[in-house]
């Protein structure tokens, strides 16, 4: 599914770093010309960038959609993680040198068929699946890396519900749930 070389992975990490650095200097996302990169990096993919500073989460933003070439998605998600994650103030120049970056490139989403919440929970693959929950125009997702903090499938689903703006015990027959995997690239 993912066929990135070590050079491809380093290119993506460099784009993320350059986009954040460009944001610090110019207040905007780096513009990337995708044709300057290998074909694998020009393919459209969803991606998220997770930033850590001194070992603590400092930002995480991205896109589930596969509308843009991967290099553009990475540039945008890195910039957004540094400056637009509402849980944190915008990144400061003094933080840049100590920043750790993790990129999660998403596989295409797979819709999960289920008959009940219990049936859905049985289908979730702990440590592997990222989940997207959609209902009535609201959407929430958790990346597979979150399994490190929430190893239980039921709790994982509850957290996805909360990210979508619902209570833990909310359920409706027309909920749609998708799974995806990620290819993680870290500096």
Q: What is the pLDDT of residues 63-95, one digit of tens each?
A: 998 889 999 999 999 999 999 999 999 999 999
Contact 51, 104 (CB under 8 A): no
CATH code where residue 12 lies: 3.30.700.20
Percentage above 70 pLDDT, the chain: 99
pLDDT digits (tens, 9 = 90+) for 155-171: 999 999 999 999 999 99
Do 61 and 114 reside in the same domain of the chain?
no
Last residue of a domain, one of 74, 106, 138: 106
DSSP 8-class letter at 69? B
10 has a pLDDT exceeding 90? yes
Q: Is the pLDDT of residue 101 over 80?
A: yes
Range list of H helices, the chain? 6-26, 39-42, 70-83, 93-96, 117-123, 153-163
Rounded to 10°, the helix 6-26/70-83 angle is: 40
CA geometry: angle 110, 69, 55, nearest 5 deg: 75
Q: Are residues 116 and 92 in the same domain?
A: no
**Per-residue model confidence (pLDDT) at position 151:** 92
The whole-chain average pLDDT of the chain stands at 96
In a domain, 1, yes or no: no
Range of the domain at 29: 6-106
According to the model, what pLDDT value does residue 43 have? 94
**Residues above pLDDT 90, as percent of the chain:** 96
Most confident region among 2-6, 64-68, 132-136 by mean pLDDT: 132-136
Number of domains in the chain: 2
Q: Say which CATH number the domain at 175 has.
A: 3.30.1490.150
Q: How far is CA 111 from CA 116, 129, 140, 168, in A?
A: 15, 12, 14, 21
Q: Are residues 156 and 73 in the same domain?
A: no
Helix (H, G, I), strand (E, B) or coil at 176: strand
Q: Is there a single domain that holds both residue 19 and residue 87?
A: yes
1 band by pLDDT with thresholds 50, 70 and 90 = low
How far is it, in rounded angstroms, from Cα 133 to Cα 75?
25
Dist. CA 81–CA 91, nearest whole Å? 9
One domain, residues 61 and 96: yes
Q: What is the mean pLDDT of residues 59-64?
A: 95
pLDDT value at 2 more than 90: no
pTM of the model: 0.90
| Cα Rg of the chain, angstroms | 17
Q: Are 159 and 142 in contact (CB under 8 A)?
A: yes
């Amino acid at each position: 599914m993912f066929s990135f070389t070590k050079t491809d992975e380093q290119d993506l990490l460099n784009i993320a770093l350059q986009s954040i650095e460009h944001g610090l200097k110019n207040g905007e996302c780096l513009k990337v010309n995708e044709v300057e990169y290998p074909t694998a990096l020009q393919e459209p993919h969803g991606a998220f960038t997770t930033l850590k500073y001194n070992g603590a989460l400092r930002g995480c933003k991205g896109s589930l959609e596969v509308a843009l070439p991967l290099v553009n998605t990475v540039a945008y998600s890195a910039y957004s993680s540094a400056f637009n994650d509402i849980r944190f103030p915008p990144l400061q120049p003094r933080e840049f040198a100590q920043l750790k970056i993790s990129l999660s490139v998403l596989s295409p989403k797979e819709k999960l068929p289920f008959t009940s919440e219990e049936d859905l929970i049985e289908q979730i693959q702990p440590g592997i699946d990222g989940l997207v929950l959609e209902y009535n125009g609201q959407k929430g997702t958790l990346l597979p890396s979150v399994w490190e903090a929430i190893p239980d499938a039921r709790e994982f689903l509850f957290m996805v519900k909360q990210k979508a703006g619902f209570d833990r015990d909310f359920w409706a027959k027309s909920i749609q749930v998708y799974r995806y995997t990620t290819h993680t690239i870290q500096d």
